[in-house]
Copies of this chain bind each other. A is one copy, B any other.
Amino acid sequence: MKDVEVVTIKSIELKNPILIEGLPGVGHVGKLVAEYLIEELEAQKILEIYSPHFPPQVVVNPDGCVRMVKNEIFAYTSDDVELLILIGDHQSNTNEGHYLLTETFIDIAKQYNVKRIYTLGGYGIGQLVENPRVIGAVNDISLVEEMKSYGVEFSENEPGGGIIGVSGLMLAFGAMHGIEAVCLMGVTSGYLVDPRSAQAVLRILREILGIEIDMDALEKRGKEMETIVARLKEMEQMQGETEPGTTIAPEDALDYIR
């Protein structure tokens, strides 16, 4: 077995698509957005990526069928925009695997003549977030102003400590190969799967891409989340002695916890 194996599901030709990455991470923000895009746009799968650097397990579908842990790339084309969307079950489980997989993703981007990459993630701040914000990082200074015009925030100390995993590495590898790349991070607690943060990211991404996306389903999930957050706060207030920043999860919230 090779370190990374790419299986072509469907051959397509693209002029200069935009690549969007939404692998699992903090608050599953990127994953929520990327999967939502694929569903709403009815994007088509073109590639599957396998690697012994993924966790040594399989995913069990609700119907009882298992499948290998994998990453996948979907394609969507319209008159206005060409998109490649990278999603997956897991990121690498080994140190070198992160580098090897990112290298593969950038190779793929080059094959399809990708002109720009957006990697999506969450930025965990350790406490519940009142007002969803999206912070950014780029691989070329010229992108900062452009992103600010869409409402992406840049501040000196966020994110502190760097960006871990593929969302960060793709910017660095992209720069090496002359591909512009932006990381959009929804600010989130880091404790819960966060559809509200995903909503904030999607709203900005939608504007950047200039595409129409019905956000109803994601908004509905976000509202459920708000109800839970409200209850979490009530519980915190009732417990006067709770340390700042700690969170108590009511049973309803458990579905959102990863």
Contact = CB atoms under 8 A, between A and B. Distances in A.
Contacts of A159: 60
Contact of A65 (B92, B141, B156, B157): B141
Contacts of A162: 57-60, 66, 69
Contact of A57 (B55, B60, B68, B164): B164
Contacts of A245: none
Interface residues of A, number: 49
Interface in A136-187: 136-141, 144, 154, 156-157, 159, 162-165, 168-169, 171-173, 175-176, 183
A92 B56 contact: yes
Contacts of A183: 66
B164 A67 contact: no
Interface string A185-215: 0000000000000000000000000000000
Interface stretch (A12-20, A96-104, A226-234): A96-104
Contacts of A165: 56-57
Given A57-B164, A95-B56, A164-B56, A64 B1 contact: no
Given A95-B53, A137-B66, A58 B1 contact: no
B100 A65 contact: no
A124 interface: no
A169 B139 contact: no
Interface string A41-72: 00000000000110111111011111111000
Contacts of A60: 137, 159, 162-163
A94 interface: yes
What does DSSP make chain A's interface, helix, strand, loop or mixed?
mixed
Contacts of A67: 172, 175
Contact of A172 (B66, B136, B140): B66
Given A53-B96, A57-B162, A100-B1, A156 B62 contact: yes
Given A57-B165, A63-B154, 17 more contacts: A1-B99, A1-B100, A56-B95, A56-B98, A56-B99, A56-B165, A58-B137, A58-B172, A60-B137, A64-B137, A66-B138, A66-B162, A68-B169, A68-B172, A68-B175, A94-B95, A94-B96
